[in-house]
Amino acid sequence: MPINSSKILLGNEFTLDYKSTYNNEMKNLINSMELISFTYMNSNNNTLNKFGIEYSYIALAMNNILKLTNNNIKNMEINKT
């Protein structure tokens, strides 16, 4: 267990449960991934630091994909996740 485990997020930030558009859901998921990435990279744990870097790459890729997503899809209403 990491020394500062109370500050380590273990995935709860990835759970979204509210009504929104696909665009907003994805933005919140990307922001959560960036938050976890930042937390991991500043954990003083080499293993978590590596995961944090990977999460940052994934968040960047997801953000780029979202930019290319059709507006009809982005504006689609999501009522349960």
CA distance 63 to 45: 27
81 lies in some domain: no
Question: What is the number of domains present in the chain?
Answer: 1
5 lies in some domain: no
CA distance 37 to 5: 14
Whole-number pLDDT of residue 72? 95
Percent over 70 (pLDDT), the chain: 75
58 lies in some domain: yes
60 lies in some domain: yes
Whole-number pLDDT of residue 11? 53
17 lies in some domain: no
Each residue's pLDDT tens digit in the chain (81 positions)?
344 444 445 555 555 556 788 898 889 889 888 988 998 999 889 999 999 999 999 999 999 999 999 999 999 988 765
67 lies in some domain: yes
pLDDT digits (tens, 9 = 90+) for 27-41: 988 988 898 899 899
Measure CA of the first residue to CA of the last residue in the chain; give whole Å.
30
80 lies in some domain: no
CA distance 80 to 74: 16
51 lies in some domain: yes
The residue segments making up the domain with residue 58 are 45-72
